[in-house]
Amino acid sequence: MQLSQRITQLNGGGSDGWDVFYKARKMIAEGVPVTELTIGEHDIRTAAPILQAMHASALGGHTGYAMVPGTTDLRDAVAARVQARTGVPTTRANVLITPGGQAALFAAHHAACDEGDTALFIDPYYATYPGTIRGVGARPLAVAAHAGNGFQPRARDIAEKAEAAKSLLINSPNNPTGVIYGRDTLEGIAAVCRDQDLWLISDEVYDSQIWRGAHLSPRALPGMAERTLVIGSMSKSHAMTGSRCGWIVGPEEAIRHLVNLSTNTTYGVPGYIQDASLFALNQGAPMETEIAAPFQRRRALALKILAGQNAVGHVPPDGAMYLMLDVRGTGMSGEDFALALLETHRIAVMPGESFGQAAAGHVRVAMTIEDSAFASALETLCAFAATLS
């Protein structure tokens, strides 16, 4: 039987860029010890009180079909969190609860794009972005944000590709670079979206991980609330990656139609997961600060280590849980360097090429292991790069 082109071409007919990760996991399965600095997975588990709230909800009977848009209480809590952080009036009518941020990205592009439409996204990008766009039948088109500009996308570069596009996807704080888009960057992006009548899809799942400066949601800029779909998630802010609870915040009309999409696809999020998410949000900022603290410590460790060497370059991360390191001085691609590091030192990092061509010659390091082990691994990486430079 013939499979659809949409499913067989989801990754653009090539590798998904995760070969180093898969090789590291294979080595681990074979009993080879590997230090993993690959995926954005907390080294702490979901906090016990959240799990207890989930358990109590399940035992209390919230195990049947939940309301597809999300429970009223959770939608209210998400709306309150967004309004408090952005100053933009937000109610439950602006909120759809989804099975994680990835499902929210997929749904948002369904709302913005028809079959064959062009959807822009910024390179470097989270690895699933192009496949998500292809998955809704749209055509992904990257706009490069270069290391020389601090990985800040330029409005003129977006405008050059925007005329035939329907949407633009951005991510700040950014995975993989750790960069936070500044106000000037976001105002330039907003101007292009207004001028070219683009939907802006803003992935803000790292908004609780801010190390320097401030996070600005573009939905708060003039004329943007009616054309912006914001993606949020419990995964990063509350170490609930496996619980799969996220949301879209947008105009009421868009949310009404997205509820119809959810009814015909995911049919909502389990009630006990939503109740646990509500409990977690109700703990307020202290819990989010506690979850983020290890990454802030490791960022400080990393900057100290990187300042003491000259083999590896970097753009200091202002948010998120990653470092993007420039290894071009070794004369190797990011992928070749990552493979060599894995083979010689059993340290796994992600090639920059996994996240687009703008990050070629770089590697992404996830700050997701215990502090001393992380520092040791980063020191080894820098020393290895120095032997190659």
Asked if residue 17 has pLDDT above 90, the reply is no
pLDDT-derived band at 15 (thresholds 50, 70, 90) equals low
Beta strands in 153-288 (DSSP E): 165-171, 199-203, 228-233, 246-249
CB 319 within 8 A of CB 211: yes
The residue extents of the domains of the chain are 5-45+286-388, 62-283
Asked if residue 1 has pLDDT above 90, the reply is yes
Helix H, strand E, coil C: the string for 347-363 is EEEEEHHHHCHHHCCEE
For residue 99, cis peptide bond before it (omega within 30 degrees of 0):
no
pLDDT of residue 19: 86
Q: What angle do CA 153, 132, 256 make, to 5 degrees?
A: 95
Q: What is the C-alpha separation between 383 and 361, in angstroms, rounded?
A: 17
Asked if residue 16 has pLDDT above 70, the reply is no
Count the neighbouring beta carbons within 10 Å of the beta carbon of residue 14.
7
What does the pLDDT look like over 277-330, one tens digit per residue?
A: 999 999 999 999 999 999 999 999 999 999 999 999 999 999 999 999 999 999
Q: What is the DSSP string of 289-319?
A: HHHHHHHHHHHHHHHHHHHT-SSSEEPPP-B
What does the pLDDT look like over 91-134, one tens digit per residue?
A: 999 999 999 999 999 999 999 999 999 999 999 999 999 999 99
Top CATH class of 62-283 equals: alpha beta
Asked if residue 23 has pLDDT above 80, the reply is yes
Percent of the chain with pLDDT over 70: 99
Asked if residue 11 has pLDDT above 90, the reply is no
pLDDT of residue 255: 98
126 by DSSP, 3-state: which?
coil
Top CATH class of 5-45+286-388 equals: alpha beta
Closest by Cα among 279, 256, 316 to 107: 256
pLDDT of residue 18: 80
Q: What angle do CA 290, 217, 118 make, to 5 degrees?
A: 120
Count the neighbouring beta carbons within 10 Å of the beta carbon of residue 282.
12
pLDDT of residue 12: 82
Percent of the chain with pLDDT over 90: 96
Q: What is the C-alpha separation between 132 and 66, in angstroms, rounded?
A: 26
**Edge-to-edge strands, sheet with 35-37:** 35-37, 347-351, 362-366, 322-326, 313-314
Residue with tokens 């939905």: 219
Rounded alpha-carbon distances, angstroms, from residue 161 to 108, 181, 288, 346? 20, 20, 37, 41
Asked if residue 239 has pLDDT above 70, the reply is yes
In this structure, what token pair is assigned to residue 367?
A: 């700050």
Intrachain domains 5-45+286-388 and 62-283 with the same fold: no
pLDDT of residue 389: 85
